[in-house]
Amino acid sequence: MQEFIETFHIDWKLMIAQLFNFGIVFLAFYLLAAKPLRKLMKERGEVIAKGLADSKKAEDLLLQAKKESEQNIIKLRQISIESKKESTKELSQLREEHLAIIKADNDKWVKERVVQMEIDKKTIVESVKKDIVSLAVLMAQKLIGKTDHKFEEKEIKELHNLLDK
């Protein structure tokens, strides 16, 4: 081993001094650089871990919001369908009510028209009867050649009685 030391010119005093210098430099590096760097890395790791956790929470919230949105869309579609059914039902009821009212009004109008036509018919028949009686009296007077007013009234009453039967 002595040869090894002589070949490489190793001096133990120098080696111990270098080891001591390395220890001082290592201690200075550890205290001034490594320890603050480790602390900084630890803080940065915590920030990153917190960011990842927040990201996971945000992703979970986003998925939950998406599910709720889909459920709300389904509910809104169901409500829309029910509302459409109800409004269709209400419209058909209103239609039926209005049709019933229109039919009732139409029936009433037809009945009134029939009554009015009967009244008009009676009026026309009475008018025609009077005209026929007057014409019959005039023809009888012309044929007989008399112009007696008593004859006219008596004959008119008889003709009216005949026509009424």
pLDDT digits (tens, 9 = 90+) for 48-61: 999 999 999 999 99
State how far the Cα of 108 lies from the Cα of 57, in Å rounded to an integer: 74
CA angle centred on 38, ends 37 and 44, rounded to 5°: 85
pLDDT of residue 30: 87
Q: Could you tell me the residue ranges of all domains in the chain?
A: 2-164
Q: Are 163 and 129 in contact (CB under 8 A)?
A: yes
pLDDT of residue 1: 65
The mean pLDDT value for 2-26 works out to: 84
More confident residue, 62 or 4: 62
The mean pLDDT value for 103-118 works out to: 95
The mean pLDDT value for 131-136 works out to: 81
State how far the Cα of 38 lies from the Cα of 30, in Å rounded to an integer: 10
pLDDT of residue 82: 95
Name residue, tokens 């419209």.
91
Flag whether pLDDT at 151 surpasses 80.
no
Mean pLDDT of the chain: 87
Flag whether pLDDT at 163 surpasses 80.
no
Flag whether pLDDT at 95 surpasses 70.
yes
- For the stretch 66-88, pLDDT in tens is 999 999 999 999 999 999 999 99
Flag whether pLDDT at 134 surpasses 90.
no
Flag whether pLDDT at 150 surpasses 70.
no
